[in-house]
Amino acid sequence: MPIYSYKCSHCGHAKDVLQKLSDAPLRVCPACGQPAMEKQVTAAGFQLKGSGWYATDFRGGNKAADSKKSEEAPACAASCPAAGACAAASADAG
């Protein structure tokens, strides 16, 4: 069940409520009794766990392969249209 954040537009009282998706939103403020509660937009509070997700499988990368790639050519040599005039590319070629 998601947690929704509500704030009263009358008195400013804020409250987080655990509700089902099918539950009606809160309308009456528990602090002042006015029908002024509004649902707030908040960031999603979940974490991807298990294999197959970036945080567990790809964060560290393959450091041995990355170091070999950096020794072979400068980063700009493949994509730079002026690679012949580039000091890094000409140093590797010579």
What distance separates the 2 farthest-apart alpha carbons in the chain? Answer: 80
Does residue 75 register a pLDDT over 60?
no
Beta carbons of 80 and 74 less than 8 angstroms apart: no
Residue 2 confidence class, pLDDT cut points 50, 70, 90:
confident
Confidence (pLDDT) at 25? 92
Q: Is 56 left (phi over 0), alpha (psi -120 to 50) or beta?
A: alpha
pTM of the model as a whole: 0.47
List residues bridging with 53 in a β-sheet: none
At 21-69, the pLDDT tens digits run 899 999 999 999 999 999 998 877 677 776 666 655 555 555 555 555 5
